[in-house]
Amino acid sequence: MSPSAIPAVMQVPAFTGGGKISICKKHVSQPGAGELLIQVKANALCGSERWQFYNGTETTPGHETAGVVVATGSGTKTPVGTSGVIFLMDFCGTCRSCRLGFTQQCLAKRGDMGFNRDGGYGPYELVHENIFFPIDAGISLTEATLLLDIMGTSGHAIQRAKLIRSDIESVLVAGAGPIGLGILAMLRILLGKDIPVIIADFVDYRLKLVESLQGLPVDLKHYNLQDGLRHHGLTSPDVAFDTSGKAAARRACLDVLAQRGVLVCVGHGEGLNLTFSQDLIAPERAVLGSEYFRYDELPTNLGYLQQNRTYLTQLITHRFPIKDVQAAFELFFSGSSGKVVVEQ
């Protein structure tokens, strides 16, 4: 796209609150030093956008974004026309965390795309070059959104668990939303198809997705967690991942966790009450948090996506044009979907 073809003003979805999305106009920013202007092609919906959808925000949401570079600022090296995805956190690249590769724990973060910086539901997004990750032309930009929350956040949580428990033989996941399903998919890729992965949820649609992705569903409308495990021939999983953010789910996971087990909390939200001697010290369990993922995990995950496209793309169950973003959000928050992507 030539610079003259880039409009000065764009129409973007306005999240006005109450579950309503209208249209407003915003200026298209020109890239400054070290910046890229991205023409957005696809953005996946995320449960963390619930508060923006229902409470409203002046920021344009969208943090699982894939697009094409259409303009570049001084000092950049990425050619116009390059396809890629955008890392959520605008990390500084120079602090102690960034120097060690922990870009999701940047100590001087410049912003979070889609939360306090305009994100990917608009037709154009301005980013610093260091948070743009180029991809091969052979991967569609809708498929490329899988590299972010689905593969990145989920794979990072699994790596966190492996820091404590290297001999994982069974896994429990609380919540069959997109991150829970992503953890299942990444477990299959990272640890193989023979490790039993139990996923508990209330939503029939998502429990059927668990089966199609080679997981073992537990319908919490009919079983408690302990009985659901027994139904699949298990009692005490080595690792549990909570993607729900619910205190009751975390507590239930901890109550069935094996000795030396690891509970990884991925979903933001409520807390967890612990009796340290009984819950942690005597059984030598660990409770960990896992936040997003490291930028340097993207190249490896791109390889996994290229090798497992047919399997992984099952997680994208619905695609909507951007004009139907209202319907996309309504479907997504009904629970009757996997990953939902809006395309431009």
Give me the residues paired with residue 21 across strands. Answer: 15
Mean pLDDT of the 94-114 span: 98
Examine the domain organization and report whether 135 and 220 are in the same domain.
Answer: no
Spatial CA neighbour of 155 closest among 316, 268, 299, 341: 299
Burial class for 8, CB neighbours closer than 10 Å (0-12, 13-18, 19+)? exposed
Measure the CA angle with vertex 244, ends 243 and 249; round to 5°: 105
Examine the domain organization and report whether 268 and 309 are in the same domain.
Answer: no
pLDDT greater than 70 at residue 181: yes
Find the CATH number of the domain harbouring 245. 3.40.50.720
Examine the domain organization and report whether 227 and 105 are in the same domain.
Answer: no
- The CA–CA distances, whole Å, from 335 to 144, 202, 217, 328, 340 equal 23, 10, 16, 11, 11
| pLDDT number for residue 136 | 84
Q: What is the Cα–Cα distance from 184 to 199, expressed in whole angstroms?
A: 8
Examine the domain organization and report whether 166 and 276 are in the same domain.
Answer: yes
| pLDDT number for residue 85 | 98
> Beta strand 132-134 with 83-86: parallel, antiparallel or unpaired?
antiparallel
Find the CATH number of the domain harbouring 333. 3.90.180.10
Examine the domain organization and report whether 174 and 218 are in the same domain.
Answer: yes
pLDDT greater than 80 at residue 117: yes
Note whether 298 and 152 are within 8 A (CB).
yes
Among residues 289, 305, 329, the one where a domain terminates is 289
Examine the domain organization and report whether 189 and 278 are in the same domain.
Answer: yes
Reported as a single tens digit per residue, the pLDDT across 260-317 is: 999 999 999 999 999 999 999 999 999 999 999 999 999 999 999 999 999 999 999 9
Domain count, the chain: 2
Among residues 266, 289, 312, the one where a domain terminates is 289
| pLDDT number for residue 1 | 64
Examine the domain organization and report whether 197 and 61 are in the same domain.
Answer: no
Examine the domain organization and report whether 97 and 205 are in the same domain.
Answer: no
pLDDT greater than 80 at residue 137: no
CB within 8 Å of 93: residues ≥ 6 apart: 103, 130
| pLDDT number for residue 260 | 98
Q: What is the Cα–Cα distance from 294 to 104, expressed in whole angstroms?
A: 6
Among residues 267, 289, 311, the one where a domain terminates is 289
Examine the domain organization and report whether 213 and 107 are in the same domain.
Answer: no
pLDDT category of residue 4 using cuts at 50, 70 and 90 = low
Of all residues in the chain, the percent with pLDDT exceeding 70 is 99
Examine the domain organization and report whether 60 and 19 are in the same domain.
Answer: yes
Q: Which domain holds residue 93?
A: 3-148+294-343
Examine the domain organization and report whether 256 and 302 are in the same domain.
Answer: no
| pLDDT number for residue 138 | 86
Examine the domain organization and report whether 300 and 313 are in the same domain.
Answer: yes
Reported as a single tens digit per residue, the pLDDT across 201-225 is: 999 999 999 999 999 999 999 999 9
Reported as a single tens digit per residue, the pLDDT across 26-61 is: 999 999 999 999 999 999 999 999 999 999 999 999
* Polymer length of the chain: 344
Its pTM stands at: 0.96
